[in-house]
Chain A
């Protein structure tokens, strides 16, 4: 128990350091960016029609002249008090924007995460257990094609097929146009999320399947599988008894490690489908020079990815007897 507590404390400390580093890096990149937040948020035309005096007052209001270090420390101080600031673009508290966006993105990403995990694991096991034969070649072929396909291009392709040609699914957005919020049904939301989730899953599958295949092939060539065969266990029994058991550990790492890829993918995919999620908000914030929002999104996503890795570590301890019993003995 003491061991677990120490583990959790160490991880929390590391997370604090990581988030500090990530936010600082994002902040420095934004201050180095040539985009003028004032100009992008007020608009070029409006800026042109303003007198120099008005611009100076606006700049003073937004604190444009404050040195970067002071601004960062100010932001950090507010964050520690639980205030993520106000988004320049949405004119709403950052926490509120992220909350809304995350709510619509979460289901999308969760669906893609689960689907790519299950499909990737299944295909990977299938390929690894039949290395060199046709199921392997098929899965490998699919994975190589998908891996070399940009996610946004795949998104466009799916949109053309399912929305434009077949007319089965909407081309974009999260809800139908011209319908009030309380008239939007769950089915509407699901229909709008299918294509973005599918794109994310299809691209995520390749990575997981290829890695699982490699692990599975190693397992099938391992000494313990050889001995299981020598003991007269059938191929199916070996796959179920030894294959799944031993592929579980790397699969956990892969699955939780893929959270970051799903996040990264969602930025592009949400943009293509105009899906109002966190990924799209990140693009908006970045292009609009919306520093508070971008920092907020960066920190939240870093925390989620890190949380995924910690979850993998904890699950490892639960699944692997060498860690579980080893730690208990200490």
Chain B
């Protein structure tokens, strides 16, 4: 078994918010997030919008806004990820593939953006080769972001991530607005990277896509990881009621909606955030929820065993 490239333990992110008057409060968005990403694997983090998924990517790269506070342990290749380390690694070993073309400077041509201001010899050739690898010709370098089509933009964003040879690719919703086929093709590029030994963290709200593309899936609910398991096991033997409910909500598996809605950040109380919507709720759900590990799997639920 490969050593993990990235380990996240009990990560919590909160924002300082100024409420009415002079009141200041901490607004927790992510609390108790656990995650492991290994080389050669695609690990998906699945959560509905508003569950704090993008913040995870920003936290890993040291890009949180100034009013955010972050606690917990993040390790890269076994070593603590400090701020200095993040700054040294980002763009080189740790790269981000962002959501949309809006993450490119609208007034700068694609070529110079990928070059990141470097003018050394060989940079141009390297960029040309990377673009060619994703089926983009040299004319792409001369284009402005607004001239790229949706699929092209996506491939440019991936290209920008792999100009250097990254160890960890963090893809934050890299497929919104793409139809199934196009999304699968983009994910094929990530699979290719994983097969070459790169660790891929794939953040998405699309469970179906995550299950087809990823090796492991971490389910994220209201800022908490509720379960992490191999994608192949998913649904067949869900350990957490939310995972089971998600599975049943998929079009192919009954299309059963989950009543209620995810709590807003700062609203959830102690205990399991899913408890108010859970049909297997017990009294202990209001207390601290112990984490159960079964092999590499991870379940945060008071009930043992598989959800029937």
Does B bind A? Answer: yes
Q: B-contacting residues of A (Cβ < 8 Å)?
A: 132, 221, 223-224, 226-233, 237, 241-242, 245-246, 248-249, 320-322, 325
> Shortest CB–CB separation between residue B284 and chain A, in angstroms?
41
Task: From B87, B95, B107, give the contact of A321 (CB < 8 A).
Answer: B107
The 5 closest A-B pairs by CB, nearest first: A232-B91, A227-B103, A230-B96, A231-B91, A224-B105
A35 and B63 alpha carbons, distance in the complex (Å): 66
Q: Which residues of B contact A246 (CB under 8 A)?
A: 105-107
A233 and B104 alpha carbons, distance in the complex (Å): 13
Inter-chain contact B63/A322, CB cutoff 8 Å: no
Q: Which residues of A contact B160 (CB under 8 A)?
A: 231
Give 20 pairs: A residue, B residue, CB < 8 Å, sorted on A: A132-B66, A223-B102, A224-B103, A224-B105, A226-B63, A227-B98, A228-B105, A229-B63, A229-B90, A230-B61, A231-B90, A231-B116, A232-B87, A232-B90, A237-B116, A241-B112, A242-B105, A248-B107, A322-B144, A325-B144
Q: Which residues of A contact B65 (CB under 8 A)?
A: 221
Inter-chain contact B95/A231, CB cutoff 8 Å: yes
Inter-chain contact B104/A224, CB cutoff 8 Å: yes
- Given A230-B96, A231-B160, A237-B117: A245 in contact with B103 (beta carbons within 8 A): no
- Given A228-B105, A245-B108, A246-B105: A325 in contact with B58 (beta carbons within 8 A): no
Task: From A228, A231, A325, give the contact of B147 (CB < 8 A).
Answer: A325
Task: From B58, B91, B95, B146, give the contact of A226 (CB < 8 A).
Answer: B58
> Shortest CB–CB separation between residue A39 and chain B, in angstroms?
60
Q: Give a binary string over B78-121; 1 marks a CB under 8 Å from any A CB, 0 the rest.
A: 00000000010011100110101011111110001000110000
Q: A-contacting residues of B (Cβ < 8 Å)?
A: 58, 61, 63, 65-66, 87, 90-92, 95-96, 98, 100, 102-108, 112, 116-117, 144, 146-147, 160
Task: From A230, A321, A325, give the contact of B90 (CB < 8 A).
Answer: A230
Inter-chain contact B90/A227, CB cutoff 8 Å: no
Q: Which residues of A contact B116 (CB under 8 A)?
A: 228, 231-233, 237
> Shortest CB–CB separation between residue A18 and chain B, in angstroms?
31
A229 and B117 alpha carbons, distance in the complex (Å): 12
> Shortest CB–CB separation between residue B201 and chain A, in angstroms?
13
Of chain A, the residue at the smallest CB distance from B87 is A232
Q: Which residues of A contact B61 (CB under 8 A)?
A: 229-230
A245 and B144 alpha carbons, distance in the complex (Å): 13
Q: Which residues of A contact B100 (CB under 8 A)?
A: 223
Of chain A, the residue at the smallest CB distance from B109 is A321
Inter-chain contact B105/A245, CB cutoff 8 Å: yes
Of chain B, the residue at the smallest CB distance from A228 is B105
Q: Which residues of A contact B112 (CB under 8 A)?
A: 241
Identify which of A228, A232, A241, A320 gathers the most chain B CB atoms within 10 Å of its CB: A232
> Shortest CB–CB separation between residue A51 and chain B, in angstroms?
74
Inter-chain contact A226/B103, CB cutoff 8 Å: yes
Q: Which residues of B contact A248 (CB under 8 A)?
A: 107
A228 and B105 alpha carbons, distance in the complex (Å): 9
Inter-chain contact B104/A227, CB cutoff 8 Å: yes
> Shortest CB–CB separation between residue A131 and chain B, in angstroms?
9
A249 and B58 alpha carbons, distance in the complex (Å): 29
- Given A241-B117, A325-B144, A325-B147: A230 in contact with B106 (beta carbons within 8 A): no
A224 and B100 alpha carbons, distance in the complex (Å): 10
Inter-chain contact B107/A245, CB cutoff 8 Å: yes
Of chain B, the residue at the smallest CB distance from A243 is B105
Q: Which residues of B contact A221 (CB under 8 A)?
A: 65
Q: Which residues of A contact B63 (CB under 8 A)?
A: 226, 229-230
Of chain A, the residue at the smallest CB distance from B147 is A325
Identify which of A241, A248, A249, A320 gathers the most chain B CB atoms within 10 Å of its CB: A241
Inter-chain contact B98/A232, CB cutoff 8 Å: no
Q: Which residues of B contact A226 (CB under 8 A)?
A: 58, 63, 98, 103
Task: From A224, A231, A242, give the contact of B102 (CB < 8 A).
Answer: A224
Q: Which residues of A contact B87 (CB under 8 A)?
A: 232
Q: Which residues of B contact A227 (CB under 8 A)?
A: 96, 98, 103-104
A233 and B91 alpha carbons, distance in the complex (Å): 8
> Shortest CB–CB separation between residue B90 and chain A, in angstroms?
5
A231 and B95 alpha carbons, distance in the complex (Å): 7
A325 and B142 alpha carbons, distance in the complex (Å): 12
Of chain B, the residue at the smallest CB distance from A240 is B117
> Shortest CB–CB separation between residue A82 and chain B, in angstroms?
44
Q: Which residues of B contact A241 (CB under 8 A)?
A: 105, 108, 112, 117
A230 and B117 alpha carbons, distance in the complex (Å): 14
A241 and B105 alpha carbons, distance in the complex (Å): 9
> Shortest CB–CB separation between residue B186 and chain A, in angstroms?
17
A322 and B108 alpha carbons, distance in the complex (Å): 11
